Structure 1
């Protein structure tokens, strides 16, 4: 085939479209995987970012899903090439999967950039996997389609369908209070996890997958389809078709889709779902990757005008399968239409309004109407004040209303080891009105900002029937968790934030309606305490951990690395430069 016969308009054409030694080497390299000269006749090459792992059961079915993406790509006339990336299994990754979200984002970004692909399909599901993929893909800016894992199918125990994380937390409290024993634990252990797929409540994974629809990167209606439902395989094939079309059309690319208006749509859905606080961190990081100015005040503003519509655990009664049966995310977005920007483009080329036109809720017990919401404002709130100058967040839909305005004395734990050692000590000086404080658990202090923010209720208070208390930390909380937990306090204590200055007995005031979190201690006394502070000893001195500690930003900036945010003068960075440069002579 002569050079004039080859299609070099595609990005992959820079690898395969030349009749020189460079093109020869690139084409012949793929002969061992079964490609022949006909595959290099201008067909689009679609990369499939594969996050399958035995360590991540959320994503355990992705090898099968990938085969159906490949089927769709081939049927549409493209060539699909699968490539592996880091896989972040939330439950097994220590000290926390969040520590490695940025590493996976870098892995995804550089894999997309260095290989000959014209579009990419992201296979993501577990909590930090999809955010990392979105961050990496957005930084390269090739046409991108999201295929999510889908929720696991629930089993029943004691006449109740189990929601993985939420019911595990409830079991832990019952065990600590003496209301459950070893037989309960064994029975629940055999039932709590059922099929591949992510948690089936509106936890972190379910929230970010749902939000990927509102961001316009996942096809409408795709995120709530159960992992083991045949519709997920059909949807994977359709995503392959779509990726080929996008490659041929040259887009739309993430930079066209991820506008400020689309982020506002995503935040609106987040609030109406009563979704995970973790999504705030991920959306802030993603916005930084595409140069969209987004801050905690935007979340507070949108929450104030967005009612809570979804009746989903841990904030409500139902599971993801119920949301899917009630119309899924398209029905939620259709209900929220008066609050949305509907004329923004999505991955299909149609506008968001066109994507959700005709969708409607079929079960008002799952999706409430805009006129009769479950709550007048969104499921999350932002607070600022002398204890959180950079802000903090609280999942109000899973909190106790009577504790959302509260003043109480602090009971301080230096770190999670101190918490574990003393929380059930009968001599612990704590009352139901106390405010439990955990520090040194943020991005630098954790490190990685682990999900330690749902501090356990002290055993002696559990025995008295106490089920909730105000808890304040610079940590995160699992999206499946619940309680009056103030999270993501910024700046964190390890960065010298006011949380580092709190002492036992200090009055702390939480006023969610007023958006306040304050430490009622004389400023002069706080300055005296600050003079006594000593910087913490870094946990890591080499490798990725050291890189993380040097460059991670605070939670109000999304905990991304400072050098990965998009600069105003920076354009798309998806060029294939220097391909075997200088290796052409004499051909």
Structure 2
């Protein structure tokens, strides 16, 4: 049994001193029913819980927090549960992306200002994952991440449903007149089968897999369905490991390195992950002080095969992925592409952690010689419409549209889109390029998931199911189609997208990584001179701070004053 030195714990500064301040700290714990044996010379392990009645993904976290607490007690730690902001993707408007940086700030400050030696971060719904990792990196206090886990597979009649992806699909069929109200209601009643995140490889599961690859979770944590007994055991194990991390002082800055960031990008590409991961990885790297350019994603995409045959770009769901061996089995097959010496919270390297992991189903987790695609699922495009770069999930696009030129049909904002899209007189064909602006970080605000623009009803009725769609928005990780996203600079600040007019010819060439606005420079300059900057969206509060400091999509949309870590910024009044 190793001997630990309690004087090395952060919490020792709060509770050990024979001073008036120390007296106050101890007496208030005792006022809550704790005595000296509960906390003296023990690591204080925080459980940062993002449970909320308005967040389906985290609806099981009340129970999981108790299970984490059990693991902390088993290992001799002192558990303290601290609620932090819950980012529920489905119900928060205009988008949880607006509040990702707010949760990151809260996590950082909660960790720093309290007597916390280590923490279990409980999250899962899309933006909670990067927010908590960003905050943990900036505070640089030992932290372990516990993913919420995906919900169970759903069924409707003879169909296996994937949340999000099938919602889009069946909505199109309803708009086309192919689905009655009774069936639509039946799908609504069964598509979200249990607690947990979307059961596709959407943003939540993509970010959980990235958290595991970065070393922030215990082995296999990213894929365990939310309501399984295995997930409860994971919670207990996470509590135990957080105590060990407090003694060992294994910090986030030891996990996130240039090499582990490359591993995260490779993971995103090989699972056919969400385009949102690009924005979040950029922000995570920034918190670690790592210089990362958008082009690095494209470089690694070109050399990374897609091995996960997972919706929305493949056939299977997260429950299938878990049963097939999960992320460890996939990474083991891809180990020659990875930096295997990167450290994880388990105390092992990534290479040690995945060694010998067995793939159970070669259809769900493909072999290197039989990939879903020989290259990664996401590409970076550049051109005069997006000088700072934009992204497309090429693996989820119609192959015939990945090299396409067509006339623009422009929507000034989301309200304009809703007003015009189903107008029978709209001048649009299957060859048109739908363009949405005022959908970026400042324009929307918050860069909502509007990038999978709806196909006009009259085209749906003709059988059209995909078109080229371009915006400065994001799209849900459950979305699909030929959608060019994250146009940067965004239209709200005068990016070229602000100047596009109906009928302008726009070309995308995914193989050539180009996006071209076919307007001559003189005409573009004439429009620029005539363009008027819009009024600010906010005049007070968090919104004003957000608008003043958020960076562009190609920089991760973090606040400019939060880049890097702040080690040594410890409370100094005791």
- What secondary structure is seen at the aligned counterpart in 2 of 1:234? helix
> Match for residue 146 of structure 2?
147
CA contact (8 A) 2:442 2:537 kept: no
Give the 5 Å matches for 1:167-246.
167-246=166-245
> Match for residue 575 of structure 1?
570
Instruction: Select which of 302, 321, 324 maps to 1:323.
Output: 321
How far residue 462 of structure 1 moved from its aligned partner, in angstroms, is 0.9
CA contact (8 A) 2:241 2:346 kept: yes
| Alpha-carbon distance between aligned partners in 1 of 2:115 and 2:200, rounded to the nearest angstrom | 38
How far residue 576 of structure 1 moved from its aligned partner, in angstroms, is 2.6
The one-character-per-residue Cα deviations of 1:425-472 (angstroms, maximum 9, x if unpaired) are 010011111100000000000100000000011111111111100000
CA contact (8 A) 1:6 1:18 kept: no
CA contact (8 A) 2:382 2:514 kept: yes
How far residue 573 of structure 1 moved from its aligned partner, in angstroms, is 4.2
| Alpha-carbon distance between aligned partners in 1 of 2:495 and 2:281, rounded to the nearest angstrom | 23
- What secondary structure is seen at the aligned counterpart in 1 of 2:164? helix
How far residue 574 of structure 1 moved from its aligned partner, in angstroms, is 5.2
> Match for residue 398 of structure 2?
400
> Match for residue 458 of structure 2?
460
Give the 5 Å matches for 1:308-387.
308-387=306-385
- What secondary structure is seen at the aligned counterpart in 1 of 2:6? coil
Give the 5 Å matches for 1:427-506.
427-506=425-504
Which aligned runs of 4 or more in structure 1 are off by greater than 6 angstroms?
none
| Alpha-carbon distance between aligned partners in 1 of 2:370 and 2:192, rounded to the nearest angstrom | 35
The one-character-per-residue Cα deviations of 1:242-290 (angstroms, maximum 9, x if unpaired) are 1111101111x11111001001001111100000001111110111111
Structure 1 pair 403–424 and aligned structure 2 pair: CA distance change class (3 A): same
- What secondary structure is seen at the aligned counterpart in 2 of 1:576? coil
CA contact (8 A) 1:14 1:576 kept: no
CA contact (8 A) 1:139 1:573 kept: no
- What secondary structure is seen at the aligned counterpart in 1 of 2:284? helix
> Match for residue 288 of structure 2?
290
CA contact (8 A) 1:17 1:40 kept: no
CA contact (8 A) 2:49 2:82 kept: yes
| Alpha-carbon distance between aligned partners in 2 of 1:409 and 1:287, rounded to the nearest angstrom | 38
The one-character-per-residue Cα deviations of 1:390-433 (angstroms, maximum 9, x if unpaired) are 10001111101110001111110000000000000010011111
> Match for residue 117 of structure 2?
118
Specify every segment of 5 or more residues in structure 1 that has no aligned partner in the other structure, as ranges: 580-587
- What secondary structure is seen at the aligned counterpart in 2 of 1:437? strand
How far residue 7 of structure 1 moved from its aligned partner, in angstroms, is 3.3
Is 1:561 the counterpart of 2:559? The answer is yes
Is 1:158 the counterpart of 2:154? The answer is no
| Alpha-carbon distance between aligned partners in 2 of 1:472 and 1:32, rounded to the nearest angstrom | 58
How far residue 571 of structure 1 moved from its aligned partner, in angstroms, is 5.0
| Alpha-carbon distance between aligned partners in 1 of 2:277 and 2:32, rounded to the nearest angstrom | 39
Instruction: Select which of 521, 524, 537 maps to 1:523.
Output: 521
Specify every segment of 5 or more residues in structure 2 that has no aligned partner in the other structure, as ranges: none
Is 1:508 the counterpart of 2:506? The answer is yes
How far residue 42 of structure 1 moved from its aligned partner, in angstroms, is 1.0
How far residue 360 of structure 1 moved from its aligned partner, in angstroms, is 2.2
How far residue 154 of structure 1 moved from its aligned partner, in angstroms, is 2.1
CA contact (8 A) 2:45 2:120 kept: yes
How far residue 35 of structure 1 moved from its aligned partner, in angstroms, is 1.4
| Alpha-carbon distance between aligned partners in 1 of 2:161 and 2:39, rounded to the nearest angstrom | 50
Give the 5 Å matches for 1:91-106.
91-106=90-105
How far residue 6 of structure 1 moved from its aligned partner, in angstroms, is 9.3
CA contact (8 A) 1:442 1:474 kept: yes
Is 1:62 the counterpart of 2:57? The answer is no
> Match for residue 539 of structure 2?
541
| Alpha-carbon distance between aligned partners in 1 of 2:427 and 2:566, rounded to the nearest angstrom | 57
Structure 1 pair 444–571 and aligned structure 2 pair: CA distance change class (3 A): closer
> Match for residue 584 of structure 1?
none
The one-character-per-residue Cα deviations of 1:325-357 (angstroms, maximum 9, x if unpaired) are 111010111011000000111111110000000
Greater Cα offset, 8-17 or 471-480:
8-17
CA contact (8 A) 2:139 2:566 kept: no
Instruction: Select which of 259, 262, 266 maps to 2:260.
Output: 262
How many residues were matched structurally? 571
Q: TM-score, normalised by structure 2?
A: 0.98
> Match for residue 583 of structure 1?
none
How far residue 158 of structure 1 moved from its aligned partner, in angstroms, is 2.1
CA contact (8 A) 2:144 2:345 kept: yes
| Alpha-carbon distance between aligned partners in 1 of 2:31 and 2:334, rounded to the nearest angstrom | 51
CA contact (8 A) 1:142 1:574 kept: no
| Alpha-carbon distance between aligned partners in 2 of 1:33 and 1:510, rounded to the nearest angstrom | 62
Q: TM-score, normalised by structure 1?
A: 0.96
How far residue 155 of structure 1 moved from its aligned partner, in angstroms, is 2.2
- What secondary structure is seen at the aligned counterpart in 1 of 2:485? strand
How far residue 29 of structure 1 moved from its aligned partner, in angstroms, is 1.1
CA contact (8 A) 1:140 1:573 kept: no
Instruction: Select which of 301, 304, 314 maps to 2:302.
Output: 304
How far residue 17 of structure 1 moved from its aligned partner, in angstroms, is 1.2
- What secondary structure is seen at the aligned counterpart in 2 of 1:164? coil
The one-character-per-residue Cα deviations of 1:472-507 (angstroms, maximum 9, x if unpaired) are 000000000110000000000001111001111111
How far residue 185 of structure 1 moved from its aligned partner, in angstroms, is 1.5
CA contact (8 A) 2:150 2:205 kept: yes
CA RMSD, Structure 1 to Structure 2 (Å): 1.2
CA contact (8 A) 1:27 1:40 kept: no
How far residue 71 of structure 1 moved from its aligned partner, in angstroms, is 0.6
CA contact (8 A) 2:550 2:557 kept: yes
